[in-house]
Every structure is written in structure tokens, then in C-alpha cells.
Amino acid sequence: MSPSPASPAQTVPAARRALPGAPFLAAARGERPGRTPVWFMRQAGRSLPEYRALREGTSMFEACFDPEMLAEITLQPIRRHGVDAAILFSDIVVPLKAAGLDIDIVAGTGPVVAEPIRDAAGVRALPVLDPEQVERVADGVRLLVGSLGETPLIGFAGAPFTLASYLIEGGPSRNHEHTKALMHSEPALWHELAGRLADMAITFLSAQLDAGADAIQLFDSWAGALSERDYREFVLPHSAKVLDAVAGYGVPRIHFGVGTGELLVAMRDAGADVVGVDWRIPLDEAVRRLGGGVVQGNLDPALLHASWPVLEAEVRRILAEGRAADGHIFNLGHGVLPGVDPDVLTRVVGLVHEIQQ
């Protein structure tokens, strides 16, 4: 495997908040807080009219690099829904953009790369992310830490495989054919690319943690496209590098992917304190496969469009299944879909909080 740049040194901020009463942090430690904590992926925006009004005329990247705007967007679902954790408003490709890559987020499509990376020259030309290039994101984190009170803030980054997939495919992909072809045909080159992207994720997460983030989530959104054998050989070492690099901060590390029911143990083995579970398998089955531990999930996002009796029954079922875990953080199995009535999300939060563990 080709050497990659040294990982950034860890520094723990002296001002990190003590949040002993936060249910989210307690559950992440495998404790049983007085109520099941709940937050939603993609809660910062998507369905909120106040988000759409604030974002009008502003591109995604402009919003992600504006400290005041990203802080305000992050706070909006806290005010409206009363969720137990904030998730930083950002995008997994923000560090790629910050490092200087020609990448855009196209409405209705997602991240699109101008020049896909599929050979050694492209990999060697991949820039190294400097912490100063994401300083405005860190400024937003510092604003949030001063505004969130007792609510924890989750920072996040994209995992090396998912970032590599965007770079190799040129955008979202159904089959990840170019990624898998490079992975198997040129494994040394793959590991060099994944190693460089791991370093980028470490820099991005470290910037958020140094600014005071209380937990992190590593999104490996597309890892479910892989077999467990391929995941362990080509992906796990690089995700483990990221999660290990931030272990010294002492904050919960969540690892999440879509369609990863067959990869849960491997994703846990990469160094996760909390394993995110999508809606395709029951939480109690996920806990059985994991042999215990803390899980996060796993309401099907589409059911937020269902009638309330249907949705209520699903929430109650998931909470019951979550009792099999050492700790359970209620969430969706993926992100909030556009068009969801925000009042439904607020009602789900209230239901989760009122049901006794």
C-alpha cells in the first residue's frame, strides 16, 4: 500500500462541554437514560419551510461554508422538534470541495465530479486537505457550541469508500461498477486513494472536534453495495483508520451505511461505539448479529408519509425492538425525505419521549 500523508495530530479542546444530563450521550455510552433519545438524519433542512426560506438564492456549498448560516440551519430542527441531538449542517463532499476539487452538488442528482479519478495520475493529484480550508466550518461549530445549551452536537464526515465512489464514478451510482473494477483490478491504487481520503476525513472530523463537537458520525452511505469479504479487505482498514484517529477525543463514534445489514459486525469492528441500522432488518435482529452494544435507528423514512396510526405502530415496534440493545438512539433508517410534514416529525419526537424504556 502506498504511503499517505500523516494524520493530523489530535488536540482536545479545553472548552469541551460537560453534558452529564444529555440522553443522547448516555445512550451512546450504553446507559439507559430516562427517555429514549431521538434525532433524525437530514433533520437540518429538507422538510422545514424556514430552511427553504433561508437557503433561497444560496447554493449548498455557500451555505456549508457560511458559519452563521450553517449554525442557524443546524439549530432550526432543535427549536422546532425538540430532538436530543443536533447534526451539523454540512455535506460529506464538503472536504473535497474545500481541498480544491471541482465538484458540485446538483439539485435532484447529488454530488457531481467534473473529472472522475480512475488512474494513478488522478490519485496522485488528489490534494491534501489543510485544516485552514475548513476553518469556516469550525467557526460554525464554535457558534453552535455556544448556542445549543444542553443539546449535544454531532459532527460528521463521509467514509473513504463512499467518497471514493463519488470521485471514481463521477457522481451517484447504482452499481458502482468503476469503483469495484478499480478496487479489484488495481488494489494498490485503490488503497492509496482510500488512504488519502481517510486522511481528509480525519482532518475534517478533527476540525469539528477541536471546535467542540460532542460526537461524530462516519457516513459510509454506499457501503451496502459491497460483500462482507470486499468490505473487510478494501474498506474496513481505512474506516478503522478514521475512527481510530479520533478515538482520543473520547466522544461517541457512530458508523452508518445504507443496506448494510450483512456488514453490521464488520462496521462495528472498524471501531464504532454506535452502529447505525437502516430499516431493512429489525433492531433486535441487528443486536443479535452484533452480540449486543448500542444501535441507532431505524424507522423507514417513507413511513413519515403514512397515516398516524400506521406511523405510531411502527415507532412503538422499533422502540420495543431497541430494548434488546445495551443502548438505543431512535432515528430513521436514512434521512428525512423532501416533502415530509415537519409537524409529523415533531409528533414522532413527542411519542418517542413519552414511551417509557
Mean pLDDT of the region 207-233: 97
Judge whether 19 lies within some domain. Answer: no
Q: For residue 174, indicate whether it is catalytic.
A: no
Task: Could you list the beta-strand ranges (E) of the chain.
Answer: 86-87, 103-106, 110-113, 153-158, 215-219, 253-256, 274-276, 294-299, 327-332
Based on the structure, what is the number of domains in the chain? 1
281-300 pLDDT per residue, tens: 999 999 999 999 999 999 99
Q: Is residue 21 part of a domain?
A: no
Annotated catalytic residue 289:
no
In a domain, 317, yes or no: yes
Confidence band, pLDDT 50/70/90 cuts, at residue 15:
low
> Which cell numbers in the block locate residue 111?
454530488
7 domain residue, yes or no = no
Q: Give yes or no for residue 9 having a pLDDT over 90.
A: no
pLDDT digits (tens, 9 = 90+) for 120-131: 999 999 999 999
Helix boundaries (H) for 106-186? 120-124, 135-145, 160-169, 177-185
List of residues 6+ apart from 9 with CB closer than 8 A: none
- Distance between CA 19 and CA 154 in Å, rounded? 13
Domain that includes residue 42, residue range: 37-354
- According to DSSP, the residues that pair with 216 across neighbouring strands are 155, 253
The single residue of 66, 84, 91, 199 carrying the catalytic annotation is 91
Domain membership of residue 26 (yes or no) is: no
List, for residues 149-163, the tens digit of each pLDDT value: 999 999 999 999 999
Catalytic residue among 80, 118, 166, 199: 166
| CA nearest to 120, candidates 61, 196, 13 | 196
CA distance 97 to 95: 5
List binding-site positions. 42-46, 61, 91, 166, 221, 334
Question: Among 16, 17, 32, 55, which one carries the catalytic annotation?
Answer: 55
Domain contains 44: yes
Pairing verdict, β 103-106 and 215-219? unpaired
Q: Judge whether 46 lies within some domain.
A: yes
> Is 300 among the catalytic positions?
no
Q: What is the CATH number of the domain that holds 228?
A: 3.20.20.210
Q: Judge whether 55 counts as a catalytic residue.
A: yes
Residues making up the binding site for substrate: 42-46, 61, 91, 166, 221, 334
**Catalytic residue list contains 46:** yes
